[in-house]
Structure 1
């Protein structure tokens, strides 16, 4: 049984997508101050290349990763080793401004898509700057990439959609452990109401629930795709769980 795929824009995307917070050494570990260093010690570029290779060999054909130099560097090493580039959907890096230059950066480095990072979009929403979100989405499209908006608050997505955002997809937190997802019911209603592909993220609450439970909850809630950061030793298990859920 192969890992099912869906379509976003003109691209076939595996229903399970490799997330890259671990590759950027972002652990979401609360008060545990050493975990980021542990991630950095284990996830060298060679180990990241090995992990992405394992993903692609077993049906995951897309990576979601930050729009920064670290990602471009390990993707370059991956391409050199494998002879091809895995499909990369870039997440804007809030510290890299202006946003327009960050979007140009990923377009220049071969991303198939880009979306406005959830915290960044949330800040613009809270400041009443939805027009800026629309502008960035339009620019992504102009650069030939599929375009999206990320959010922790579903209202960001609803507002952008109602304002006419030219999005190909949305990227929304969904879990039932309360981690960066304060209202899973509203998140589910949003995914089931807006007729565009939704990539669910933080579906495991950054490691606070088990894949079988987190994946099933996210899919039942309306997620079309799941973005999941993973270590090499988690890849095969995650793929088998995703196969069983998306095949039913």
Structure 2
């Protein structure tokens, strides 16, 4: 008959061994994440914590803003953040000074959380998921708390460190006794106590994972194409930090861009789209472009672009509300007063209403239901959310609009009885090579231009046409004329600083020409 006591002890031993190994895997996984986050920032010559610090919006916001305002403190913050991530990550992976690394990691994560807690208003910046109070920073903090609380000395380099420390203390004690003449026999320097083979292997369990991490990083870095490296080098030489607006181009400006009104708000006939400043390029399959334009559009470059636009009479930027803090910063510190119209959005009712509140709180001059969001609400049967959004916007005292990529969204909103202060609808022709309807892939935004023109002709509200250049596929001279001639009252165009004067002049040229326009001006 088996020995019950022996069996129970065996099970308990196996369970303990399994728990230790699971704990080691948790430690290694968190360390891997930390280390690569740090290395990715070190590899990116344009990375800076500035925008993250500036958009901090909770109790310690003023402190984070001060760090961003000081070039010296910002540089120190960048270096400390990058190297702390790398050092903490490597220490966790190897199981070296594990408790200190875990506590340090918790402090770092707490600072991240303090800057951008996922509370009850939209978080500035691009989020990779949906959070409420608990986000991945909190989850990793709790994981590190577990790592710091439970000893894992058997599965990591800490075992060797403890052995060396113990041997060193013993040797120091012996030498002290000898010098005090309390030890008569000679003292041998000796060696650190030898570990049993199985114990030694357990102490090295983290090393293969660290080797795999190094190989993965090298492989990922190797996938970077020669073209992307060249473009990155080019961006480094012409980044927003070093490339300044050529103000001499203002000498070529023919006149100020004319304006129209939606309700009480004066708006330039051409408005600046904010996608480029947010890193959205609609670059089809050119995977490096978004990173390139984010590197180009740092804070100084955005401010310079705004100033140049205002000098040309372009007084409004249409953007996602995440750019709100940057625009407020521009008003307060950049010396300008450009308006912003907010694209309100949300996956559900509360997120949508929070987006409206966030936009109003950051000074939006007008707001509308973002096109893709309105399309989604209509397609899934949540059209009443659009009406609720219009009510909230108007209650805040700003013009309220509805955007759409699909004509059916506008049609159904009209049939539902909605009466927005303006429409925001895509418009462009299909005479460009990538406009293939058989397989749409971020390449076409107005599927029915003729039907759109015909329907909008009957709408009495002002119409802001966007995507009129099909994300850079149509020349502005052609796109501007097509939009204004076919009924648009305003156009929204993404533009770099070096395109602002040209776009302003093309707007003037188009509006002063003999437009064959059937729809009356509604603003």
TM-score, normalised by the number of residues in structure 1: 0.95
- Structure 1 CA distance for aligned equivalents of residues 498 and 256 of structure 2: 19
Deviations 1:183-239 (CA, angstroms, capped at 9, x unpaired): 001111122110110000000000001000011111122111000010000000000
8 Å contact from structure 1 (residues 49, 77) kept in 2: no
Higher normalized helix content (fraction of residues): 2
Unmatched 5+ stretches in structure 1: none
1:246, CA displacement in angstroms?
A: 1.7
Aligned to 1:133: 386
Report the structure number with the largest CA radius of gyration: 2
1:146 to 389, 395, 399: 399
Deviations 1:87-142 (CA, angstroms, capped at 9, x unpaired): 11100244695111110111111111111111110011111222111111111111
TM-score, normalised by the number of residues in structure 2: 0.46
1:209 to 459, 466, 474: 474
1:160, CA displacement in angstroms?
A: 1.3
- Structure 2 CA distance for aligned equivalents of residues 2 and 55 of structure 1: 10
Q: Does 1:88 align with 2:340?
A: yes
1:75 to 320, 327, 332: 327
Aligned to 1:122: 375
Deviations 1:22-65 (CA, angstroms, capped at 9, x unpaired): 01100100111100000011011110110011001111011101
Unmatched 5+ stretches in structure 2: 1-254, 436-443, 514-523
Deviations 1:129-158 (CA, angstroms, capped at 9, x unpaired): 221111111111111111001101122112
Higher normalized strand content (fraction of residues): 1
1:161, CA displacement in angstroms?
A: 2.3
Aligned to 1:164: 417
- Structure 2 CA distance for aligned equivalents of residues 13 and 171 of structure 1: 14
- The root-mean-square deviation of aligned C-alpha atoms, in Å, is 1.5
- Structure 2 CA distance for aligned equivalents of residues 247 and 134 of structure 1: 37
Name the count of aligned residue pairs: 246
1:82, CA displacement in angstroms?
A: 4.1
Q: Which runs of 4+ in 1 moved over 6 A?
A: none
- Structure 1 CA distance for aligned equivalents of residues 270 and 331 of structure 2: 21
CA pair 247-186 structure 1, distance change in 2 beyond 3 A: same
118-127 or 129-138: which moved more? Answer: 129-138
1:86, CA displacement in angstroms?
A: 1.4
Aligned to 1:11: 265
8 Å contact from structure 1 (residues 191, 221) kept in 2: no
